[in-house]
Each structure stands twice: as structure tokens, then as C-alpha cells.
Amino acid sequence: MSRHFGFVAAGVASAALALTAFGATAASAAPSAGDCGGNPYHLRVVQAIDVSASGKSLIGQNTKYTCGDDDGQFIPVGKPKKFTFAPGAKAFLLNRVHDQQVSVTDLLQRVHACKANPGAVQYPASCRSQYVITVNKTGAITTIAQRYQP
């Protein structure tokens, strides 16, 4: 479960609470055969590429969930685009496999450092480049959380 959601849940109850905190809801119907039973919480995942020239926006690609050999994965699709942040947006980075709240500026600095050098951050931090996001009605990111992926 932790590989798909970007954070580790201690159990089903905490997983549901954490998903609710990130704005995801459980699917009301069984997943379709087209998405091979994946992404049951309809998470929106972005593949980070870099930051904008101003350093205040994220440049990334939307992703889609696809089937893999033994597990599904999110793969980038479409052209890179700029993702802006809503005032008061919350950002979370992984510290080992646990999420840690940071400022949006800290998150963007990590994305940029990792673009130049994937070994730029010291363990237990990582340069994993996929993020679960929630957005407001204007499309600005309200929550962004680095996603654990094997």
C-alpha cells in the first residue's frame, strides 16, 4: 500500500485518514479492467521535472496509472507544464519512508537540486520525483506529498 500513496500507513484506519487529509476518496465502484485495478483512490500524481525560472512553480508532467509486471506504476504523459501553488499550500517530503512537512520553498529547492544531481540530498532524504497532489478549483496545488515508489 505504501508504494502507491506516498506515505506509510500504520493500518487501514490511518490509511483512510491520511488519504482523506490529502483529498483523495475511495472509489465507490470496483476498478475497471482498463486500469487493471490500480489507483483505487484516484490519486493525482505528478512527475516533477524542475522548478520554473522564478523558482515559485513546479514544472512537471501529469501521470497515468499503468499495469506493471507485478505491480502498477504511474508513468508521465503529455507535455511538461507549470503547476502553481495556492496560498497556504502544504508540502511534504519523505524522510526514509515517513512524510515530513516542509515549506513549498524547501520542496522546490529539493526538486531543483535533484534535477542537477540525483545524489544531491543526503540519506534519509531522497530524490524521488513523483508527488501526490490535490488542487483547488482554479487548479493551484493545495497539498503536495513526495510519493514513495520502489
pLDDT at 36: 64
22 domain-assigned:
no
65 domain-assigned:
yes
Asked whether the whole model's pTM tops 0.85, one would answer: no
**DSSP secondary structure of 59-116:** EEEEEEEE--SSS-EEEEEEEEEEE-EEEEEEEEEEETTEEEEE-HHHHHHHHHHHHH
**Euclidean distance between CA atoms 3 and 148, whole angstroms:** 5
81 domain-assigned:
yes
35 domain-assigned:
no
114 domain-assigned:
yes
**Euclidean distance between CA atoms 130 and 71, whole angstroms:** 16
Ranked by mean pLDDT, the top range of 12-21, 24-33, 105-114 is 105-114
Ranked by mean pLDDT, the top range of 6-15, 17-26, 67-76 is 67-76
The tally of domains found in the chain comes to: 1
Element (H, E) at 131: strand 130-135
pLDDT at 70: 66
pLDDT over 70 percentage in the chain: 69
pLDDT tens across 32-68, in order? 445 466 665 678 999 999 999 888 999 999 998 887 7
Average pLDDT over residues 123-134: 87
Span of 12-16, 76-80, 111-115 with lowest mean pLDDT = 12-16
pLDDT at 33: 41
More confident residue, 150 or 136: 136
pLDDT at 16: 33
Beta strands 73-83; 58-66: pairing state: antiparallel
Tell me the residue range of the domain where 87 lies. 44-146
132 domain-assigned:
yes
* Per-residue pLDDT at 25 exceeds 50: no
83 domain-assigned:
yes
Q: Which residues 6+ apart lie within 8 Å of 101 measured at CB?
A: 90, 91, 92
* Per-residue pLDDT at 12 exceeds 50: no
104 domain-assigned:
yes
